[in-house]
Structure 1
Amino acid sequence: MMPVQPHRVCVAGASGRMGQMLVEAVIGSGDCVLAGALDRMASPALGLDAGAFAGRHTGVVIGADPVAGLADSRFLIDFTRPEGTIEHLRACVAHGVKLVIGTTGFSEAQKAEIAEASKSIAIMMAPNMSVGVNVTMKLLEMAAKALSTGYDIEVIEAHHRHKVDAPSGTALKMGEVIAAALGRDLKDCAVYAREGVTGERDPSSIGFATVRGGDIVGDHTVLFAGIGERIEITHKSSSRSTYAQGSLRAVRFLAGRSHGLYDMFDVLGLS
């Protein structure tokens, strides 16, 4: 029997908090190997070994050129910024590299470009790679259908002080899942801010509240508030390692696909 070849993975944003967690996860896995590491042009980590932060020698140097970074890779995991991810997407299409996207905050035009690219390469895109978060999404879908009348729905999320987009991509995805279960479009029923005399709450709306502070990795609660009772479904992350492990599950899932756009429900068999 021929030995199974490891999945050759490139990590984008390799010197960032999430990037370092991804590098560690790839190194520690039994079926993946670090084949490339990318970072922004201004990063002080350029030229360093990708495992230097952990005192590990990987032989992979962090660079800023996507073509060079992807030259020996079959997969790219990207948790960077929308503009960086789109640049990497184009390089992946040009070189036939499969892509795992954890970046959030894309514009509609950028989402359309990702969808178009998935006709050529396999892409898994999700605002949250945590297995627990995605099981929570499924629970929210079930709860929304059962609590479709008589309950007001609010999504509350909290993240660290460095997060640049709000609400979080995970919170928005939760809203989308709930809205779809109720036969609504989130664009038409979301309320992102309340201030002053707002009037009574529209019972068909889905509200969002955002907290930013400290080093909170990611907390999400969906409140279904009825008369005489309330149901709260909560997920709390204490480490980014769960996102990294979910990303590797996505790599394994994409290994058997040539093209198409997938999400974590597909990866976990929850669709």
Structure 2
Amino acid sequence: MTIDQLIKTALQEDIGDGDHSSLSCIPKDAVGRAKLLVKEPGILAGVNIAKQVFKQVDPLLTFEQILNDGDVIKPGDIAFYVEGSSQSILKGERLALNFMQRMSGIATHTNELVKLVGDLPCKLLDTRKTTPGLREIEKLAVKIGGGSNHRFGLYDMIMLKDNHIDYAGGISQAINKTKEYLAENNKKLKIEVEARDLDEVKQILQVGGVDRIMLDNFNYTDLKKAVELIGVSSETEASGGITRDTLRNYAECGVNFISVGALTHQINSLDLSLKAV
């Protein structure tokens, strides 16, 4: 689903057969002006999405952008002004805020974690633990916050996790069948394989030919050993229950990537408000 389609669907969900609150008490020809007021410190995200929301609601609305996605914000800052039909502004108000508040919350949380490992050669990744239908904007918010995107969906990267391996009959079977599948279908996708312990790391290395090894729920000692075993033969990724308190320690083990599902599924929306002026 494209962002335009997402906005269209969300507007239909919200407006239904009409914004009767506005239609009942505001003249059709009334014009107004409103500002996006920041009420909480953080990283701003979703300004461009809000602009698209108001454009879809009413192409005649004017949008004066003051701040940009990725800007550091504080209470009292004004992100943009929107001006035109009062009814149109009110139609787009809630949707623009919903997108911006959630995206800014994700960007803010991501930025806080990125700063914890910013001096280390380790990238912070999101996951597919996103709100159904909102993956594109949530992953965009991660990037705005300074993080990096993992695969977008099931189609743009091979990831052989524990269940794939168990269903396939083992690590060697899963990897070899995957290579055959890619060759037969003329697909060039990167292969990532999950390891649950050091023995599985050794099995993956014995088969070879994978782009990245995910080290899932490893302790620090075993993670360091795994990184040493893998060397430069594959990229390394730590995953599984990594928190703000443990992130730095995992990064110091030498992995190339750390994936944190909480970037998108355990965040607090940032407090923003649209006020008439």
Superposition TM-score, scaled by structure 1 size: 0.35
Q: Whose helix proportion is higher, 1 or 2?
A: 2
Superposition TM-score, scaled by structure 2 size: 0.35
Compare relative contact order (CA 8 Å, sep 6+) and give the higher one, 1 or 2.
2
